[in-house]
Each structure stands twice: as C-alpha cells, then as structure tokens.
Amino acid sequence: MRLTASAGVLAVVLGGCVGGKVQSTPSDGASTSGAATSLDELYGQDVSWSECGTDECASVVAPLDWDDLSSGTIEIAVERHVATGSDRKGSMLINPGGPGQSGIDFLGYAVSDVLGPDVLDAYDIVAFDPRGVGASTAVRCGGDAAIDAYLTADVDIRSQEDLDAARARVAEVGQACVDATGELMAHVDTISSAKDMDLLRAVVGDEKLNYLGYSYGTFLGATYAGIFPEKVGRFVLDGALDPSMSNDELGMQQAEGFEKALRAYVADCQAGLGCHLTGSVDDGMTQIRQLVDRAKARPLDAGGGQSVNSALAFYGIVVTLYDDSYWPYLTQALTEAITQNTASVLLQLANTYLDRSPDGSYSSNAMMAFTAINCVDYPIVDRDYDELVAFAAEVSAVAPTFGDQFALAAGCEAWPEQSTREPSAIAAAGAEPILVVGTTGDPATPYAWAQALAEQLDSGHLLTWEGEGHTAYGRGGACVSEVVEAYLLDATVPEDGKVC
C-alpha cells in the first residue's frame, strides 16, 4: 500500500475537524469524442473561459493517446484565478499531489492560504484536474458500495490462497474500472499528463511553463521538465518524489517515513498533558499497534451504526501525520479509543482521508484514480506468498508498527492496466533553475527524495525546511515563503545548503 493525500486539501478539511469539502463532479470517463487531426490543431484550439464564482473556468481538449491522435479526445477541466496586479508575469499551473487529487478543489486554499499577495499580483493561478481525475474525463469504477467495500476491507493474507483471493478482488475491481472508464484507463500515466500540461501552457499563451507542484505533483513536474526542458520557467517542486525509485523502494521508504512521524507524534504526546499513551515511546507505539490489531479482531463502535476496522483505524491515524498541527486530532481519537473503546473521531479522520461520507459514498474519485495512475506508472513485482512475506519482513524491519499495511497486500500485479515505464533519474538538461523543497520530517515523501531529485536535476536547487509533516510552502513559515516567492518573482535561487 502507498499513501496518497494532498496536504492542502487535508488542511481545509481538518481545519474544521472534520467537515465536508467541495468537490468537482467527475465527467464520464468512458466518453471520448472526435479526433485531433494535428498537434497544431490541439495547441491552437480556441478555449472559451466562463465565469465561475470569482474565477474563470474552461475545458481543454487533449488527445486520449498522445502517440495516436486519431484515438479520440478527452477533456481537461481548468480553473484560473486571474492576476490582480498590472505587472503580470504570466500563468502558473498548480498541482496538489496524489496522484488523484483535484487541482481545482485545491485552488481556493492555494489562493487564500498559501500564495503570497505579490505572487497573486504577478501570476494567473491555473488549476487543473489531471486526466482521470475529478472534473476532467475521469476514472470511474462503478457504484460507491462496491468501491467502499474494496477500499475499507480488512484483508488478512496468511497463505497463498489468501493472496490469490486478494488479487482476484483487485482484478475484479480493476475490471469494473475498465468497464466504466474505457480506453482512458491505459492512458492516465504521468507522461501523458505532463504532455497535457504543455498543452495547457500553450492555450493560456505562455512561452514557458511556470509551475508549483506538491508531492506527486513534483513527479509530474519533473517528468514535464525531462520532456520539455526548454519550456521550463519557474518550477517549485515541494515534497519531492525521486523518479528513479522502484515501487518497492518507494513503499519501503514511505513506510519508514510514517513510522518516524508516528514516533515523533508519540514523543510529543507523552511530553504534554492529556496523553493516554503510557511508558516509553516504544510503549506508546506498541499501544497504537495494539489498538489497530484490536479493531481487526473486533471493529470499534463509532456510533450511528458505524464501526471502525483496522483499515479505517490505520487511515484515521496516518492522515494526522501529514501536518503536526493535526496531532491534537490524533490525541483526541486515541483518547476516545483507549478510554471508551469507541472510535467516532477515528472514523471522521479516516473519512477525511478517503473523501468518504459516513454513509459510504465518496465525494471524489481520488482513491481509485490513485490506483489507476500508479499502476500505469510503476512496473510491478509479481511475488508468490513466501516472497511477499519475506518482503514484508524487510519493510517491517524499518517500520515495525505498520509495515505490513504497506507490504502485505495485493496490488498492481492484479490490476488490468500495467506499466511499461522503467524508473530512471531525470536530469532535464538545459532547463532553467528548478527549486526543490524538502521537509526533514516528511512522512509521505521523505527528505532523502528531495535531496535525490535536486541532485539529479542539472539545474536543481534544494531548500530544506526543518519541520514535521508533508511539504513546506504554506506550512513552513516566513523563511520558506520568502525563499520560494523570491524565486517565483525574481528567479532568485537560494544559496547551496539553505535551511529554514
């Protein structure tokens, strides 16, 4: 299992602890129309912008398959916040991560809580839902009931037969996605989305692409830079992925990252008041693991006829590790679970992570798009049960609390659409300076990944934030904002080794 989230979107939701969020309505992923006769036609299309609240919205036509323009077309949903100043620098695309998160849903938060006034004066902020996501031509997987059963199930793999059954379930759900989505399922890969971004650059009238990408958005941005280095403008890649990693490496290091983040939380909890995790940090970690194990043996009552099994408990815990300002919510959830053996707060937190309502319906397609995109991005390793157990033991050696949640599971090896991409470093030779931002306590994209990406990129420059949680710009205070915005506004890169 790999974890997906947009730090910005989670901030909006958890800030209300834990209300609903406005979501785009996915368009029908099965519908493609027409065919683009040429790249000139695509790049020269006349886009009609309409008023949507205080912003402008449009739909951009892209090819279903960039290698076969006769394959049909899809739509990319776009929303832009127009620059407020007179000295306009152009547009800046933004992506909140995932993969599978909606850029359009992220736009309001980015404008109100992340981007400084000088940046908003200078740039049209252009949000988009990548192919397969949200209001763009989207991955669809059938009804919410089937999706909910799949995403929230406790899967216990203790034999080859259990593994075969789990893979059969993945294959069944994946086929439902193919049936509902159609040919798009094979074309939601990051390379195709990067080519979509160049199309967006052209239709908004910019010679070069300016871009702010978080988390998975750094992989999307780095991929773009590798394909179109001469078109790179101001690029901020915050919470970086290392594009040279295999899926195994990514999963193992992310598991270790969440283990370290949970330890940091436990230490902080035990140093304060009202913490029900007793003894040492190790003891506290054991108590959290025991809680999750208890939820697997007998799901915890969450009120209103709802319950929390170990899968939901896991999601409810890890969602709070994306930002240390969320840690009090985890303390609240653990206090309830330990003292009352109930889990209403854990359920709210898990639902936040999943974009899930209490009735089991989903307000976005983020989780299924996440799987669809990753499975066409990363080559699989098809293990038998004994090999999978051995790998899970390696992961648990660095992440003993939740290592099996990351490793002992069926995955893309049973998904109907699989990757042909081989992970490799991206140099983007000839690109203008690119700013990579890493957070030392980032669980979802460990700091070493930012170091690796900055080193790989010929023009990479690393900014380090010494903090806890996922990503830095918008969370890391004045120092981070000043460095990022000096780069966006004046192309000033930080000195080597800059730390905030």
Orientation angle between helical segments 310-318 and 327-340, nearest 10 degrees: 150
d(CA 424, CA 270): 42
d(CA 411, CA 340): 35
Active site residues: 215, 442, 470
DSSP character for 438?
Answer: E
Q: Which is it for strands 90-95 and 306-308: parallel, antiparallel or unpaired?
A: unpaired
DSSP character for 495?
Answer: P
Name the token pair of 158: 């203790």
Residue 391: which region, alpha, beta or left (left: phi > 0; alpha: psi -120 to 50)? alpha
d(CA 327, CA 347): 16
Q: Are 294 and 337 in contact (CB under 8 A)?
A: no
Neighbour-count burial of 495, counting CB atoms closer than 10 A to its CB (0-12 exposed, 13-18 middle, 19+ buried): exposed
Q: Residue 78: helix, strand or coil by DSSP?
A: strand
What is the C-alpha R_g of the chain?
Answer: 22
